[in-house]
């Protein structure tokens, strides 16, 4: 029999049931499927935008954003390899507050910036997609950003 979801399987999967146990047999495949079913925004892409700005010199807001994003990656590093339930619990305990603080900080700083500045554009990119950026907090099956799916190890400054 072909290894595919039966009728209603996608609905079941969205409700947290994996009819074929793909998450146990093919964890990378399921991460890819989940990222397409529930699109999330790429933290690595956002991080790169701020990195490019900060690399150019005096950019305290971009540097602050990088520090805040690095704190989220530090939490993700501690939960690598854990079950989806454990990842979700840790994200709720640790990452949720960091993400909420990041959003509040960005919404406070954004009006102070000129409309066309690179930092403003990077902030606008995130704020317009806030639900997608924060989706990983509520679903331990999702990886935080596409770079993590590819196994790329991210550090604060550098690729």
| Domain ranges for the chain | 38-149
Neighbours of 85 (CB within 10 A): 10
Sign of the four-CA dihedral 88, 89, 94, 97: positive
CA distance 45 to 122: 10
Residues 139 and 16: beta-carbon distance below 8 Å = no
Residue 48 CB partners (closer than 8 Å, separation 6+): 159
- The full DSSP string for 105-153 is HHHHHGGGS-TTSHHHHHHHHHHHTHHHHHGGGT-TTS-SSHHHHTTPP
State the DSSP H helix or E strand holding residue 24, giving kind and residue range, or none if neither.
helix 22-25
- The 10s digit of each residue's pLDDT in 5-56 is 444 444 445 555 555 555 555 454 444 444 444 445 688 888 999 999 999 8
pLDDT (0 to 100) of residue 114: 94
Give the closest residue to 122 by CA, choosing from 52, 60, 72, 57. Answer: 52
pLDDT (0 to 100) of residue 25: 52
pLDDT (0 to 100) of residue 142: 76
CA distance 75 to 90: 8
Average pLDDT, the chain: 75
- φ, ψ dihedrals at 27, nearest 5°: -60, -35
Give the closest residue to 43 by CA, choosing from 65, 23, 22, 25. Answer: 65
């Amino acid at each position: 029999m072909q290894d595919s979801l039966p009728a209603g399987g996608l609905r079941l999967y969205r409700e947290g049931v994996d009819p074929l146990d793909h998450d146990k047999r093919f964890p990378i495949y399921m991460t890819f499927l989940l990222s397409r079913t529930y699109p999330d925004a790429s933290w690595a892409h956002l991080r790169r935008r701020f990195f490019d700005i900060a690399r150019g010199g005096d950019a305290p807001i971009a540097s602050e954003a990088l520090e805040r994003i690095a704190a989220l990656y530090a939490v993700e590093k501690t939960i690598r390899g854990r079950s989806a339930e454990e990842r979700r619990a840790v994200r709720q305990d640790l990452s949720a507050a960091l993400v909420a603080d990041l959003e509040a900080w960005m919404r406070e700083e954004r009006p102070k910036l000129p409309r066309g500045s690179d930092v403003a554009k990077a902030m606008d990119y995130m704020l317009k997609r806030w639900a997608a950026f924060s989706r990983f907090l509520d679903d331990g099956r999702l990886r935080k950003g596409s770079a993590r799916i590819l196994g790329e190890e991210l550090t604060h400054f550098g690729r």
